[in-house]
């Protein structure tokens, strides 16, 4: 069973955001074309955007199903010395990147697989492709030309990596392939790329590869480069991972020892001596519980906040006497 490897999540997220920007640009172009229609442009513009989104979602879902079918078949039947990447993106030049559906790495070489879940009748002649629509044939984008462009960009990207020593005949190590997962009818004549109808013929072709062009260490280096997928140094360079126990560049300049991180000063945990120092406001008066005054008669209901140990004042006595007469 083959092994599946993945690119770093941040690399995939960055490229996915840029791909969405390109799709949004095509959507806006379609809406601008609708604006040129006199009188009805304001009405057709939102409908054009909705139709574009529906078509894009349909094509994306169909393509993902075809890629998933080919991926699971290859992972199940290829031996364990094969490494499979799904949806790989490399960028040899700024703003010029290639998205590869399936990339297989083995000592026999690198194999780029472009999967097409197209339904219908197709024919290709010398990398020029047509689709049958009713009784006529209309020209479509060339999948063989697309995978050849991806192979050229992948070769250019690998040549930029200084940590990988390319063989003398490196161009012969890259093999672009095209597979149609569910066509109704397919005819291929004199195309520069191998085209397969179904995943099983593709699997048989890969199992028959016996040549050795990469060593085991070179296979590991290629897989590590694809996982990290460093971009050109002129455009958003990704930080290289630091293995455990290896000092950083700053540590090597200091003397081979990693500097201790700066710590914030400890917070004061001791409480201020009183309320006035803490807030700068006068201390509020103490609240005494309400208690029955001893000078008040038993029948009266006079309550005060004076403490019991303090003697009643003359004003308090006169007030208590007037209250008792009023109650009586």
List, for residues 73-90, the tens digit of each pLDDT value. 999 999 999 999 999 988
pTM of the model: 0.65
pLDDT of residue 301: 46
CA distance 323 to 300: 7
Cα–Cα distances in Å, from 78 out to 104, 108, 204?
10, 13, 10
**Which residue has 């998933």 as its token pair?**
68
Query: Can you give the C-alpha Rg of the chain in angstroms?
Result: 40
> CA 114: distance to chain centroid?
23
CB atoms within 10 A of CB 226: 24
Average pLDDT on 235-261 reads 47
Q: In this model, does residue 112 exceed pLDDT 60?
A: yes
> Which CATH code fits 64-237?
3.40.1350
Cβ distance 161 to 91 under 8 Å? no
Query: CA-to-CA distance for 106 and 216, rounded, in angstroms?
Result: 8
Q: Which one, of 117, 181, 123, 115, lies nearest residue 150 by Cα? A: 115
Identify the weakest region by mean pLDDT among 72-76, 142-146, 324-328: 324-328
Q: How far apart are CA 307 and CA 290, in angstroms?
A: 9
Band the pLDDT of 328: cuts 50, 70, 90. low
Domain range list for the chain: 64-237
Mean pLDDT over 56-80 rounds to 87
Q: How does strand 83-93 pair with strand 303-304?
A: unpaired
Report the pLDDT value the prediction gives residue 234, as an integer from 0 to 100.
Answer: 39
Tell me whether strands 109-116 and 174-180 are parallel, antiparallel or unpaired: parallel
């Amino acid at each position: 069973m083959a092994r599946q490897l993945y690119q770093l999540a941040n690399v995939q997220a960055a490229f996915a955001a840029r791909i969405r920007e390109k799709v949004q640009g095509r959507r806006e172009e379609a809406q601008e074309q609708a604006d040129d229609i006199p009188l009805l442009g304001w009405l057709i513009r939102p409908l054009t955007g909705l139709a574009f989104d529906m078509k894009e979602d349909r094509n994306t879902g169909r393509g993902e199903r075809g890629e998933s079918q080919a991926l699971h078949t290859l992972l199940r039947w290829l031996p364990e010395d094969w490494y499979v990447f799904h949806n790989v993106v490399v960028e040899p030049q700024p703003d010029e990147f290639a998205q590869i559906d399936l990339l297989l790495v083995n000592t026999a070489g690198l194999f780029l697989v472009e999967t097409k879940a197209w339904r219908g009748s197709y024919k290709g002649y010398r990398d020029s492709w047509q689709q049958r629509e009713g009784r006529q044939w209309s020209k479509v984008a060339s999948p063989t030309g697309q995978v050849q462009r991806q192979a050229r960009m992948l070769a250019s990207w690998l040549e930029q990596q200084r940590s990988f020593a390319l063989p003398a005949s490196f161009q012969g190590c890259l093999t672009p392939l095209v597979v149609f997962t569910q066509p109704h009818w397919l005819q291929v004549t004199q195309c520069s790329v191998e085209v397969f109808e179904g995943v099983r013929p593709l699997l048989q072709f890969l199992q028959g590869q016996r040549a050795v062009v990469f060593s085991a260490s070179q296979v590991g280096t290629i897989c590590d480069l694809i996982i990290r997928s460093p971009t050109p140094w002129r455009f958003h360079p990704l930080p290289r991972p630091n293995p455990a126990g290896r000092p950083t560049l700053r540590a090597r300049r200091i003397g081979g020892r990693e500097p201790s991180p700066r710590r914030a000063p400890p917070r004061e945990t001791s409480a201020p001596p009183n309320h006035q120092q803490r807030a700068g406001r006068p201390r509020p008066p103490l609240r005494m519980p309400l208690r029955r005054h001893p000078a008040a008669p038993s029948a009266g209901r006079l309550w005060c906040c004076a403490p019991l140990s303090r003697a009643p004042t003359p004003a308090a006595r006169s007030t208590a006497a007037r209250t008792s007469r009023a109650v009586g």
